[in-house]
Amino acid sequence: MTGRQQPNGAEEVPHSAGGVMVAVTSFHGIILTGALIIMLLSFFLRVNDSNQVLVPGISRPIPESCLTKMYWGIDCPGCGMSRAFICISAGQFGTAQQFNSASFVVYLFIALQIPWHSMQLLRIRSGVGPVDAWWTIVPALVVIAILVVCWIWRV
C-alpha cells in the first residue's frame, strides 16, 4: 500500500486505495467467517466409535473428505484433523493426539484467527488500516512446517 507508516506498524490508508481496502476487508472477513465456522462445527459435531464424524440427531456419518486418501490411499498432513478438532473441543485430548498429532497447534492457530481478524476488521473500519507487516505470515508458515513434520514422522 502507499499510505504513510504509523508508529504502531500500520499504514494510514489513502482514500484512493478504496478498491484495495475492499479486497483487504473481504480477505479478513472470509478468514474470520471460516475460523468461526470451523470452531463452531468442532463443538457441534461428534465422532462415533468407528471414528466417523456424525451430526447429532442423524445416524449417518459424514462422507470421507480427504481426496488424497480417497484417490491414492495415503494420509495427507491434515488427515484426521476434523476428528481431532472435534475431540479437542470435547476435551478428549488423547484421542485428538491419535487422530493427528499436529491438531493442537492447528486448533490454536485457527482459534487465534478469530480475535486477530476481528481486530484487523475493526482497524480497517476505524480508518487506521490493518497491521501489514512481514511477520504476520510467520505463524502460518510455522503451522505448515509443523503439519509436514508431524506427517513425515507419522508416515
- Residue 2, in any domain of the structure: no
Q: What is the DSSP string of 102-115?
A: THHHHHHHHHHHHH
- Residue 100, in any domain of the structure: yes
- pLDDT, residue 83, reads 94
For residue 114, how many C-alpha atoms fall within 13 Å in the half-sphere facing its CB? 10
- Residue 80, in any domain of the structure: yes
- Residue 36, in any domain of the structure: yes
- Residue 44, in any domain of the structure: yes
- Residue 6, in any domain of the structure: no
- Residue 11, in any domain of the structure: no
Model pLDDT for residues 14-42, shown as the tens digit of each residue: 544 556 778 888 999 999 999 999 999 99
| CA separation for the pair 131, 137 (Å, rounded) | 11
Count of domains for the chain: 1
- pLDDT, residue 45, reads 94
Q: Which three cell numbers stand for residue 83?
A: 476428528
Instruction: Indicate if the pLDDT at residue 85 is higher than 80.
Output: yes
- Residue 3, in any domain of the structure: no
Domain that holds residue 43: 16-62+73-154
Listed in sequence order, the DSSP H helices in the chain are: 18-44, 67-72, 81-89, 93-99, 103-125, 138-154
Mean pLDDT, rounded, for 35-60? 92
Contact at 8 Å (CB) between 79 and 100? yes
Percent with pLDDT over 70 in the chain: 87
- pLDDT, residue 142, reads 96
Dihedral angle of Cα 34, 38, 44, 45, to the nearest 10 degrees: 130
